[in-house]
Amino acid sequence: MDFNDTPEEAAWRKEVNDFLGKEYPAELKRGGRGEEGEGLFRGPNEGSAMKQWRTALRERGWVAPAWPKEYGGAGLDIKRQFILNEEFAEYGAMNVGGFGVMMLGPTLIVHGTEEQKKEHLPGILDGSVQWCQGWSEPNAGSDVASVQTRAVKDGDDYVINGQKIWTTGAQFADMMYMLARTDPDAPKHRGISYFLLDMKAPGVTVRPLITMAGSATFNEVFFENVRVPNRNRLGEENRGWYIGATTLDFERSSIGSSVGIRKQIEGLIKFAKDHRAMAPGAARREVQMALADRWIEANVARLMSYRVISMQNAGLVPNHEASMCKLFTSEMQQKIASLGVKLTGLYGMVAGGSAQYSAGGRFGYNYVNSVSSTIAGGTSEIQRNIMAQRGLGLPRD
């Protein structure tokens, strides 16, 4: 593995850094979040700083850097995507686009009709339409192929009844890309279709779920005789599972996560040095050794990301290697959150900010919020199964 940039890659890295220094709004650099829902979901109500940032990115095609240029992206190759994501993470710059850019857009580009692309891709890029994902159900979490939400053909429409859960950002979304069962008699992977559903359609009910951290990130979504036009089915009927499982050629090395982990550890170390009275755990050898371990692990996470990007750059398709990145970084999030509470002691239990406690309650919040990191995006058990079966060649249990 060559850790050095080529002259061309070094020039590209400088171009990205120069752009960030010139264009990234100071309000966002200070951590301002604007209206509720900004972050993953931003749209007509986003603040002026975020609109400014989105415009700057869109002019370069960097809202969706992996998309082909003809669809409004930048058409970047794998290595340039990686460098851009790495520098954005180092700078602390916010990405825009959410699920529309990360998931639906690439799937539409491969499987959508030209009419569907013209209708939906522009709204993803300009932020006027926000998307959420309708995969999980109460009885179909990690086993998504067991979905029971039904879609029954009725003339020019499908009529959808059922429920989705853990639907991130559904309360802010305009549209949902979802899987529903269209043939209950077919084997479970072969009777599912892929739909684009209007969240404002009659019969759609969204109920936010309050997490143990006190936030309403997730939602339950109920469908009662919701009509979806045939033109909003993506791909062939009963082939939705294979469309949803499409492996697309976009950067998935988790470099942003590994950089973010290192920055969290740097933040813990800085807090311990700057606020000694509020970091009593810093004097404990156990905590000192844990900080050293987490620092080493953060560098391991980065090397794992480099491994994935090196494979992609060589034309290979990472599989269990990407699962290793996800498993390692998500469990690291929990270790760091736990370490933050050990470092701050009783101060780590403070729920909000005060004049006496400059950390603003973030350590306690991070501790309870980190519980979901090993569940969301594929549980640790699922990742280990992939690593065992596809990496080690072990039989299915």
Active site residues: 251
DSSP for residue 178? E
The amino acid that residue 312 corresponds to is Q
Residue 236 has, within 13 A of its CA and on its CB side, a CA count of: 5
Partners of 196 in beta bridges: 177
Q: Any idea which residue has 């594929």 for tokens?
A: 378
- What phi and psi, each to the nearest 5 degrees, are found at residue 129? -130, 120
Q: Is 9 exposed, middle or buried (0-12, 13-18, 19+ CB in 10 A)?
A: middle
Rounded Cα–Cα distance for residues 133 and 215 (Å): 19
Q: Is the dihedral of CA 34, 88, 98, 260 positive or negative?
A: negative
Instruction: State the Cα–Cα distance between residues 111 and 101, nearest whole angstrom.
Output: 15
Three-point CA angle 243, 384, 302, nearest 5° = 90
DSSP three-state, residue 192: strand
Give me Rg for the CA atoms of the chain: 22
* Nearest one of 181, 1, 28, 174 to 96, comparing CA atoms: 28
The Cα–Cα gap between 131 and 198 comes to: 10
Amino acid identity at 37: G
d(CA 101, CA 107): 10
DSSP letters along 102-126, please? IIIHHHHHHH--HHHHHHHHHHHHH
Residue (of 21, 150, 35, 176) closest to 92 by Cα position: 21
